[in-house]
């Protein structure tokens, strides 16, 4: 089936334009509610959101759909995506929903669905729900006596805060650490500072005044410059930058230098391995993770298992391989011992715990390898794109590039799943060679697309 609504991370688009309209959200609620209605018990769904203005439109539309399908609705308001996943499982809900477009600007929004186990839905389940959305669901609606009800869960923040704190070892505190935390004016604007403060840290919160429009605006993990600067200004030990729904994190060391997801995974892998807590013998990451991470893991007896881009594909591979650590260079860090999806707060806590135990600064804990030069270029193509990769000049330049790189680097060429683009990425020890390879391949693809 060709999927019209669901992408690599749920449904996403511009608010009040298809597919992010109230009408579509209503139908998503009905379809997902019907799909997860199994058995005679009172079914219920938990709905969280970030701080976008359009959440006030999407939330009641989804609620109406679930109520019409006969599901009771638990509303938790602005909450991190991983909190929604955790609460869905903890409250034995049949389904969890997060209304968020993650790191996108305020005018976008999205719908992420979680099963009763707290994991994001598989491609197959999403396809089944989409098939229902496109069909006539009238006959399946709940009769009047079986309509659902909606209520708010008042202590949702407190439940997640306590959960996050308990991911640290018993007795572990952050006393003595000064922490700058950038909440992106998003879903974690209350929870993140509270977790850090209750664990004993001195907290400098920034971007904690959401107004419906300023989520991710010049702040958060996609704009970490302010966070890095504030670390230096306040003489902080560490900076933490979350995205709009707090499922990803980037870190700044005590000098204000940025640390990406690859370096965070390396630091956590070493800490878990030292405590004999790393499972599966590897770390799972996507094809975009730096070759430097792969080489570092090999030096400590671990391997890097790569998946396609998307944190849910990382999670699926982790479950299949029995691994408890995985993530993305962008800052999605999945710690399977604690969470079913990326959790920026919990990942940052693990780094800080390693700092405290080793009595070392972030610059030592999270600088375990030097990233190889990596260059990514997006080549715009036609909507259909054709089979540009089979053009002889393109095949020839790719073969030449692979020969030039040999064991000195890596080449990745892939079609975007969301835009009419072909992404050309190369990395290796020789920066000049990498630039030449990317220029040559991108040029040939552009020429083939123009024919």
The total number of residues shown for the chain amounts to: 451
Q: What is the 3-state secondary structure (H, E, C) of the chain?
A: CCCCCEECCEEEEECCCCCCCHHHHHHHHHHHHHHCCCCCCCCEEEEEECCCCCHHHHHHHHHHHHHHCCCEEEEEEECCHHHHHHHHHHCCCCEEEEECCCCCCCCEEEEEEECCCCCECCHHHHHHHHHHHCCCCHHHCCCHHHCCCEEECCCHHHHHHHHHHCCCCCCCCCCCCEEEEECCCCCCCCHHHHHHHHCCCEEEEECCCCCCCCCCCCCCCCCCHHHHHHHHHHCCCEEEEECCCCCCEEEECCCCCEECHHHHHHHHHHHHHHCCCCCCCEEEEECCCCHHHHHHHHHCCCEEEEECCCHHHHHHHHHHHCCCEEECCCCCEEECCCCCCCCHHHHHHHHHHHHHHHCCCHHHHCCCCCCCCEEEEEEECCCCCCCHHHCHHHHHHHHHHHHHHHHHEEEEEEECCCCCEEEEEEEECCHHHHHHHHHHHHHHHHHHHHC
Query: What is d(CA 431, CA 412) in angstroms, rounded to the nearest whole number?
Result: 16
Inter-axis angle of helices 156-165 and 344-358, to 10 degrees? 30
204 bridge partner residues? 180
Token code pair at residue 99: 């209304």
Q: Which of 102, 221, 289, 404 is catalytic?
A: 102
Q: Assess whether 209 carries a catalytic annotation.
A: no
Token code pair at residue 290: 């730096």
Closest CA to 342 of 203, 205, 188: 188
Phi, psi of 388 (to 5 degrees): -65, -30
Closest CA to 285 of 230, 345, 325, 242: 325
Query: What is d(CA 285, CA 413) in angstroms, rounded to the nearest whole number?
Result: 17
Q: Catalytic residue positions?
A: 102
């Amino acid at each position: 089936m060709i999927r019209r609504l669901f992408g690599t991370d749920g449904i996403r688009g511009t608010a009040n334009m298809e597919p992010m309209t109230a009408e579509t959200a209503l139908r998503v609620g009905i379809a997902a509610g019907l799909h997860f209605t199994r058995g005679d018990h009172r079914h219920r769904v938990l709905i969280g959101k970030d701080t976008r203005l359009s959440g006030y439109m999407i939330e009641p539309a989804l609620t109406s759909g679930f109520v019409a399908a006969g599901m009771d609705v638990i509303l938790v308001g602005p909450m991190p995506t991983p909190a929604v996943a955790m609460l869905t499982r903890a409250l034995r809900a049949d389904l969890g929903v997060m209304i968020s477009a993650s790191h996108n600007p305020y005018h976008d929004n999205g719908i992420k669905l979680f099963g009763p186990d707290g994991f994001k839905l598989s491609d197959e389940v999403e396809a089944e729900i989409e098939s229902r959305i496109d069909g006539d669901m009238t006959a399946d609606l709940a009769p009047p006596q079986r309509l659902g009800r909606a209520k708010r869960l008042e202590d949702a923040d407190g439940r997640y805060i306590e959960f996050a704190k308990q991911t640290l070892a018993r007795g572990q505190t952050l006393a003595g650490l000064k922490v700058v935390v950038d909440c992106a004016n998003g879903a974690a604007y209350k929870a993140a500072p509270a977790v850090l403060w209750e664990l004993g840290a001195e907290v400098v919160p920034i971007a904690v005044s959401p107004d419906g429009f300023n989520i991710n605006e010049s702040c958060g993990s996609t704009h970490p410059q302010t966070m890095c600067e504030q670390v230096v200004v306040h003489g902080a030990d560490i900076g933490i930058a979350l995205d709009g729904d707090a499922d990803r994190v980037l870190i700044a060391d005590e000098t204000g230098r940025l640390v990406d997801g690859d370096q965070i995974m390396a630091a956590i892998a070493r800490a878990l391995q030292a405590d004999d807590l790393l499972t599966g013998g590897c770390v799972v990451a996507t094809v975009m993770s730096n070759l430097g991470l792969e080489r570092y893991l090999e030096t400590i007896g671990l391997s890097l298992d790569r998946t396609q881009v998307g944190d849910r594909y990382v999670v699926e591979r982790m479950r299949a391989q029995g691994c408890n650590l995985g993530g993305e260079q962008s800052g999605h860090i999945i710690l399977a011992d604690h969470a079913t999806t990326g959790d920026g707060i919990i990942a940052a806590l693990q780094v800080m715990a390693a700092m405290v135990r080793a009595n070392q600064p972030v610059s030592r804990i999270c600088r375990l390898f030097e990233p190889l030069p990596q260059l990514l270029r997006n080549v715009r193509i036609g909507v259909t794109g054709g089979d540009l990769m089979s053009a002889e000049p393109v095949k020839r330049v790719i073969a030449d590039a692979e020969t030039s790189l040999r064991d000195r680097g890596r080449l990745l060429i892939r079609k975007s799943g969301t835009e009419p683009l072909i992404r050309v990425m190369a990395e290796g020890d020789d920066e000049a060679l990498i630039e030449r390879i990317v220029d040559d391949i991108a040029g040939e693809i552009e020429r083939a697309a123009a024919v």
